[in-house]
Amino acid sequence: MHITSDIYFRFATTVVEAKILNVNDVASEVLFDVTLPDAAFITAFTMEIGGKRYAGDVKEKEKAKQQFEEAKSRGESAGHIAASPRTSNKFNILVNIQKNALVVFKLKYQELLRRTLGSYHHVIYVDPGQPIEDFEIKVFISESRDIVNLSVPPLEGDTEIDISKFVKIKRISPSRYTIRYAPSLEDQKAMSEQGISGQFKVKYDVTRDKDAGDVLIVNGYFVHLFAPKDIEPLPKDVMFVLDRSGSMSGRKIEQLKNAMAVILKDMKPEDRLNILFFDDKFDWLADNTMLEGTMVNFDKARRFVKAIAARGGTDINQAVIDGIKLLTSFLNTKTSSIVMFLTDGAPTSGETNIDSILRNVRTTNEAKLPIFSLGFGNNVNLNFLKQMSTQNNGFARKIYEDSDAALQIEGLYSEISSALLKNVTFEYLGDIDYGTITKFYFPFYFGGSELIVAGRLKSKNSKIEPRVRGWNDGYIDLIWRPRPVPDLVALTTDADFSKITENMWAYLTIKQLLRELEGDITSIEKDRIKAKIIDLALKYQFVTPFTSMVVTAPNLRRPTPQLRRPELQGQSGFGRLGSMAQFKRGPGGPRGPGGPMMAPAMFIPSVVQLTTIPTTTTSVSFLCNFKERASPDIFIYMKGSKRPLCMDMNFIAGKYLLLEDKDKSLTVIFNVCTTSGNSKSLIGYIEEVVIKNGQNEVKLDSEGTETDKWSSIGYRYTNTFGSHNITFNILPSRDGKSLQIDVKVGQSKVVGAKGLLGTFVGLEIERVNSRIYL
């Protein structure tokens, strides 16, 4: 696996190269997920088959999918890339590989590095699922100014791993560096059995002055980057609007309290604040005022936060409106005024209609105060928060419900707590095509960040003179000082730097249009913006929420693949299960004949994978079918793969015995209902889990998964079948309307367990037949 990144003028072009060999005697379809930085766009995908190279083409989503399906039906090698519908930074890559074919693919994506807290952060997600003989990451950086504070932090995954001794950093000049990371096979195995897994990061900054920044002009397009230094922060007025409803109980409310303790400690004497904790009732730190930043008031705020308990419903509408009204009444031209809003759910009391809440907030916020929203956990309506913040000069971030949640909250506050300028305006003298300029007015410039404007000139020979104005205890005019334009000689051959500014302009324009879709606009305006996004995406070959990429090899025909659907025989067999790997028993246990099953962590098969297990009630298939809600809700994790098997109940209601031995049993009750409305469809869900241990019985039902009942057990109930070394974690599903069961299978010498999972006791994935050369 080779990953190469070229960073030029903060614009990163990354190429991932890998090889897949299909040793099966039929064509096989492989689906794998690629995680990219949130701001990245896929811009190219190529497949090399038999020495011939086939390039992908970006099309509208439906057209791209249709072309892929037609190629697949003819048995041709083909690839399809689309944004995952669930998350903005995951992409599904579907590759149909002919029998006995070796495919080399290259995936290329681009992003504009975001500067936060004084550093640019370049992140590469690495998770091949196994140690790799030929693994290498290369990063080339070429900047307009001298590079400073360059570092490669520890590899960030489930734990942090110090990789400094494997990283080689070479200085070519003050503004150019190369970074190489190529751990050996033994080094990767020392990290874990699955090899490398985590985020490879590069952090750096450039030298700065108190000026209007840098402007790069190439082939009729310009990019202006602005991040001055030596400007004193403005005093700030902060209105904290914080959710303390019942769903925040337990760990989340404690993490919020911990974060607020740090935030209050960092506030300055010149700052003012108030805090509103809300459920369906409101508690204010102080009535009808903004408290001055005195030690007495900060101590009062800390005691107030510490005493808060979670309870009640969630009246988002009135809480945000009341916070805006109070802050508006204390507006001061010499301060920065912001609303920091945090919630972990959806509105459940007061006004609950999303459109009405958005309209009410816009109407109240006549002063255009920025609202920065934090969505805590998996049940939050993040799209709603994005809309509210976008429509009110802010942004929204998700806070992941993890051990570092308090640090995530503190990090967001740190980004917005140091406003150096407000009402920042970019002006340009010269032959500018003003209809092409991206956003050039910004309510705030926060310290440690960067503002970027791009546009097109009327001719390639046109010249411009930028001017930046902003407010900090009076208006400040920042002068542009022309600097020598760095040469366009790339450090590698893949990147086309002659179009760097044009691509950056297209990138920024599409990002801005996607953000505008979240604003307060009519359906006609949304259609117009969507059409513009598609036009730009097709021209510049960006994979967006409205476009996909498809690549086919039309002159390499093969017979249509035959899908094999082998069965797992009874409860004592260890037969074939799919198309890509082999099972084995752990030490001391019997070993079955084996057979193909599934790809390793990064490559998940989607064609030859359906398997049934006969039971006393009905069939159960091990098929990851995420298209239907709450199906599957049982995930089986085994040694040898970080990706789970997925147990699907095939939408047949009934009682299923999962595991039973002489002492214990675990049973699930699966139910099915039909959705209402014109488009009716089946919805499957786990209604109840019953655990028997001797005479004792524990019942966990899906009703109330969003209430204190599940909060009181930390949203997770753990039970272990010790004799079989199997652990069950039972928790609310992602949508909160069903139960989810995570099954972890360990090594075991015991055999003969009863139930659907009895066959999996001690089982592990041994060998991957569809070999992957990375």
Q: Report the mean per-residue pLDDT for the chain.
A: 78
**Does the pLDDT value for residue 568 go beyond 90?**
no
Question: Class assignment of domain 236-417?
Answer: alpha beta
CB proximity list for 589: less than 8 A, separation 6 or greater: 747, 748, 749, 751, 761, 762
pLDDT attached to residue 554: 55
Range of lowest pLDDT (132-141, 197-206, 477-486): 477-486
CA atoms within 13 A on the CB side of 249: 20
β-pairing, 336-343 with 371-376?
A: parallel
> Which CATH architecture group holds 2-207+536-552?
Sandwich (2.60)
Range of lowest pLDDT (442-451, 454-463, 537-546, 710-719): 710-719
CA-nearest of 189, 318, 199, 303 to 257 is 303
Tens digit of each residue's pLDDT (9 = 90 or more) over 429-483: 888 888 899 999 999 999 999 999 999 998 877 888 899 999 988 888 888 887 7
Tens digit of each residue's pLDDT (9 = 90 or more) over 418-427: 899 999 999 9
Q: What span, in angstroms and rounded, lies between the C-alpha atoms of 735 and 714? A: 17
Q: What span, in angstroms and rounded, lies between the C-alpha atoms of 700 and 668? A: 10
CA 386 to mean position of chain CA atoms: 15
Q: What span, in angstroms and rounded, lies between the C-alpha atoms of 108 and 130? A: 22
Higher pLDDT, 130 or 148: 148
**Does the pLDDT value for residue 287 go beyond 90?**
yes
Domain ranges of the chain: 2-207+536-552, 216-233+419-476, 236-417, 581-773
Find which of 311-315, 547-551, 562-566 is predicted with most confidence, using mean pLDDT: 311-315
**Does the pLDDT value for residue 633 go beyond 60?**
yes
pLDDT attached to residue 648: 64
Range of lowest pLDDT (271-275, 339-343, 379-383, 691-695): 691-695
CA-nearest of 399, 350, 349 to 372 is 399
**Does the pLDDT value for residue 321 go beyond 60?**
yes
pLDDT band at 486 (very low <50, low <70, confident <90, very high): low
Q: What span, in angstroms and rounded, lies between the C-alpha atoms of 121 and 6? A: 14
Tens digit of each residue's pLDDT (9 = 90 or more) over 95-127: 777 777 788 888 888 888 999 989 999 999 888
Percent of the chain with pLDDT over 70: 75
What are the C-alpha distances in Å from 420 to residues 341, 380, 468? 22, 32, 13
**Alpha-carbon dihedral angle through residues 381, 386, 387, 390, given to the nearest 10 degrees:** 170
Tell the residue number behind the tokens 């995952």, with chain if given: 84
Q: What span, in angstroms and rounded, lies between the C-alpha atoms of 485 and 240? A: 45
CA-nearest of 399, 373, 377 to 386 is 373
Q: What span, in angstroms and rounded, lies between the C-alpha atoms of 409 and 400? A: 10
**Does the pLDDT value for residue 241 go beyond 80?**
yes
pTM of the model: 0.66
